[in-house]
Amino acid sequence: MGAYLLRRLLLVVPTLLGIILINFAVVQFAPGGPVDQMLAELKGQGGSTLGRLSGEGQGETTRPPANQGSNESSRYRGARGLDPAVVREIERAFGFDKPWPQRLGEMLSGYARFDLGRSLFQDRPVTELILQKMPVSISLGLWSTLIIYGVSIPLGIRKAVRDGSRFDLATSAAVLVGYAIPGFLFAILLVVLFAGGSFVQWFPLRGLLSPGLEGAPFLTRAADYAWHMVLPTIALVIGGFAGLTMLTKNSFLEEVNKQYVVTARAKGAGEGRVLYGHVFRNAMLLIIAGFPAAFIGILFTGALLVEIIFSLDGLGLLGFEAAIRRDYPVMFGTLYLFTLLGLVMQILGDFAYTLVDPRIDFESRG
């Protein structure tokens, strides 16, 4: 197993490099980059934006001299009517005065040292921004994943054991409703019903801590934190538990019909021994295989709209705003960390295979 894990860890480097290169190449052809957005802001606000970038006063005019025309030759559509010196100053401020191979090399060199650069629009290190937003997303992802697995696996096993019963049919209806309603739509329903929308206001609508409780005792802050987490966690759980429940049920149904289960029962093994001593180990392999993708999906992508609805300033909202504003350092920095975490989770998933079923040996594969 050690040699296999070493090979997988070594493959992380070329995989990360390939993903970053592909996304970097795509971005080079995407219209409306940060320079274009700053030019549009500059034309809307006069000289104030350039003053902030260059450190000069705001009294300087940004109109082109009479002999420079309208700058029609610029590669930026928003640069028409602006002084070419203004455009060059903005390019220099954002680092776009350098050729793309040099920018790519500097970015990769920084990533090798886990230096993700600085945000173009917030002028803060990307690592600092990610660390600031991470507690919100970690809270949502961790509690949602624990509840989803804690509810779905026992429920799926129970449905498999009582397949075709009234319990199975009733829970299947509930699972179908949960599968059909998107998490963000259920989040809106929760806001309308329980967060002061149209009925009652039993739960807060924004943040993870009520104002003024920063210095409160730990138990008070913990209770307030749990109070804030109720609605967004429920919204994420509803969208995630349905698929895992049916996957668990189908996995167990497939295993209980196999010959080794019939043999175990013929030898006099009790139902609990058969179910949890033989079937559970094999049925859980498929569920473990989907855990890394489920965790990453809930942690970084599934929570995006839920974060917006409940005004939670997390990684999902950070990545969304970076994409809208073309804040490339934040976009590539979050992509780098998400991809790295996803690859590590895949390796941990393979390792969990061997814990559930020691018969699995990845090193013996040809």
CA angle 52, 111, 1 (to 5 degrees): 155
Output the pLDDT for position 300. Answer: 62
Output the pLDDT for position 48. Answer: 43
> How deeply is 288 buried, as exposed, middle or buried, from its count of CB atoms within 10 A (0-12, 13-18, 19+)?
middle
Q: Helices (DSSP H) in 257-314: which residue ranges?
A: 259-266, 271-274, 280-289, 291-296, 304-309
CA angle 52, 58, 64 (to 5 degrees): 100
Tokens describing residue 269: 């093994």
> Where do you find CATH 1.10.3720.10 in the chain?
126-364
- Give the C-alpha separation, 116 to 119, whole Å: 9
Output the pLDDT for position 363. Answer: 62
Q: Are 225 and 208 in contact (CB under 8 A)?
A: yes
Regarding pTM above 0.85, the answer is no
Q: Give domain 126-364's CATH superfamily.
A: MetI-like (1.10.3720.10)
Output the pLDDT for position 299. Answer: 65
pLDDT digits (tens, 9 = 90+) for 103-142: 888 888 888 888 888 888 888 899 999 888 888 888 888 8
Helix, strand, coil share of the chain (percent; to 5): 75, 0, 25
Output the pLDDT for position 356. Answer: 67
Tell me how far CA of residue 181 lies from CA of 51, 152, 238, 359, in angstroms: 49, 17, 8, 40
Mean pLDDT by 10 residues, the chain (366 residues): 78 88 81 70 53 44 40 52 67 73 86 86 87 84 85 88 88 84 84 81 80 83 87 84 85 83 80 77 74 68 76 80 84 86 80 70 59
Output the pLDDT for position 119. Answer: 87
The helix or strand, by DSSP H or E, that contains position 109, with its residue range, turns out to be helix 100-112
Tell me how far CA of residue 304 lies from CA of 8, 27, 81, 183, 206, in angstroms: 30, 22, 38, 10, 14
Q: Are 38 and 90 in contact (CB under 8 A)?
A: yes
Q: Are 256 and 279 in contact (CB under 8 A)?
A: yes
